[in-house]
Structure 1
Amino acid sequence: MPARQTLSFAAQHALILQQNFERCFGAPLIAKPIASADLLQALQQADFALVSHGTQADPVFNFANTTALSLFEMDLASFTQLPSRYSAQAVTQAERNQLLAQVSEDGYIDNYTGVRISASGKRFYIEQAKVWNLYDQQQKYYGQAAMFHSWRWLSQ
């Protein structure tokens, strides 16, 4: 039964990611038409990085697709225990905090750039990231998500 509950949560989460992205940016996360039943798999296998975090005082990641997990060099179980602030280096933490405040106020941002750090300490620069607020089916604040197509590794 727990695997079924996890799948149900993941499928519902994928729908929330898709609906809120489309609300903010006027286009779906996945460009080609896709059945709701196939959305989670399509998001997991997308060629862009997609992550989200919850509503805790120190928000913890609750989703990452395969591309994001590869960039952050983590498995899903480890990633979903990580406070999202640890995805940025300390020197860029103030910039990240400003970004999240702007997203909270405006609902989204579509041109974020910044440095992120993987589990092994590798740094990568993300470009033109979209970050948006998430709301559940009852319009209750649900967290924030980010996606980006473009990144480059930085020399150590």
Structure 2
Amino acid sequence: MYGRDTTDSSAGASFHPCSDTRGFIVTLQLWANSTVVDWSQLLLNSYSHWIGRELLERAGDPAYQAHALFLSPFIVVSHGMEEDPLINYGNQAALELWEMAWEDLTRTPSRLTAEPVNRAEREWMLEQARTRGYLDTYQGVRVTSTGRRFLVENAIIWNVIDAEGQRVGQAATFIHWTWLS
């Protein structure tokens, strides 16, 4: 059961985490924050630009689309353009997979989602996406915040671009992964 937000909803999004019955941290109405709505539009527009199809049905206004993206059953995660890029978005499925709250995930350098032994391969993959605009059918081992390892299967990685076509980050989506022992 998800926690109930008791803050004033007229003030916009609330950022009060609570635990659901499975022990995951849930951030209520995160998708309603204007920064998240704007970034969600960049994610969706960039995916369509590079891949040539929509990541999800683009019904409703941008806030509705941000909500749909956040609650989609597939993983969506992205990072910015810092020297050591920080994760700046993860939908609910990503938060659950990486076993992190929004506040923790968005302070995490994206390189830490891979074990040290797999980081060179991860960098190669990101460079391929940087050069081509996207990379599809990617596979690689990632690690959760608690050290659980999983194999990502058939991921799509794409450059996130702004309205002027300038690269502002990179994102990935996938629906299939296998837990490793």
- For the superposition of Structure 1 and Structure 2, which TM-score range results when normalised by the shorter chain? over 0.9
Stretches of structure 1 that go unaligned for 5 or more consecutive residues are none
TM-score, scaled to structure 1: 0.93
| Contact in 1 for aligned 2:58/2:65 (Cα 8 Å) | no
The structure 1 segments of at least 4 consecutive aligned residues displaced by more than 2 Å after TM superposition are: 1-4
- From the CA coordinates, give the structure whose radius of gyration is larger: 2
> Which residue type is aligned with residue 14 of structure 1?
S
1:58-137 map, 5 Å: 58-137=84-163
What is aligned with 1:35?
60
Quote how far apart the aligned CAs of 1:33 are: 4.3
SS of 2:33 mapped into structure 1: helix
Same amino acid, percent of matched pairs: 37
Quote how far apart the aligned CAs of 1:34 are: 1.4
Q: Distance in 2 between matches of 1:106 and 1:123?
A: 28
> Which residue type is aligned with residue 138 of structure 1?
E
What is aligned with 1:45?
71
Greater fraction of residues in helix: 1
> Is residue 143 of structure 1 aligned with residue 169 of structure 2?
yes
Q: Distance in 2 between matches of 1:123 and 1:78?
A: 18
Stretches of structure 2 that go unaligned for 5 or more consecutive residues are 1-10, 15-31
SS of 2:160 mapped into structure 1: strand
TM-score, scaled to structure 2: 0.81
Of 83-92 and 138-147, the range deviating more from structure 2 = 138-147
SS of 1:130 mapped into structure 2: strand
1:106-146, Cα deviation, whole Å (9 max, x unpaired): 11001100000001100011100000001112222210000
> Is residue 15 of structure 1 aligned with residue 41 of structure 2?
yes
